[in-house]
Amino acid sequence: MRSPPRIMQASPAIDRRGLLLGVLALLTAAALPGAVHAAQPDDIHFDVHLAGSKVGHHSLSFAPGPDVGQMTVMVDIRIRVRLFFVTVFDYTQTTEEIWQGDRLVRFTSTTLDGDNRDEVTAVQGADGLEVTSLRFGNRTLPADTWPSTAFWRQDAVQRNTFLDAARGDIRKVAITELDLEFIDALEKRHLARRYHADTSRDFDVWYGPDGSWLKLQWSGYGMTADYRR
């Protein structure tokens, strides 16, 4: 008795064109803004010194945002200056920033300056950055507006207007690039680029060759504060 003929199962041919298109699609998706999480900076902590004494801190932490490609930045600032057991300066600010690349998606802040309390919220809307603050009410700013807390990014020095993180109004800033200089940060010497910002409270800011924020110094309220990382 003859065996039934064997039916050979042919292996499916590889669709080279389809494979190539699939690879290209993956590469393109990875290159699109928001397709993957951007490189996340390291957390930053500064001790704030006044006249040689530590009077507070300025800390930033970075985490993935609520949506793909977003980043959340939490800022915590606490400065208290006492003179002969009397508090002469008491400042606290907490903020949350959500970024999509170089676009601020959402922002909230609470600031206590002595007995004064300010709150600011901002969210991207159809017409721009929609801002609400206790001091100035509602307003719409250009969609590419950054908050004044954004100097953890070196490219902030290329701008001349910011959303004031404490008050909710627009802060004009004239920034001048200064010379390279050696500074102490993170327990070693660094060659850093210095910038001076001329605004309501002048400050100088230093960045390392990789763009990392290494130092800040500001003057106001009749005093000068040094941020030491």
Confidence of residue 201 (pLDDT cuts 50, 70, 90): confident
Q: What is the mean pLDDT of the chain?
A: 85
* pLDDT (mean) for 59-87: 94
- pLDDT given at position 37: 38
* pLDDT (mean) for 183-207: 94
**98 pLDDT above the threshold of 70:** yes
Cβ within 8 Å of residue 172, ≥6 positions away: 160, 161, 199
What's the pTM? 0.79
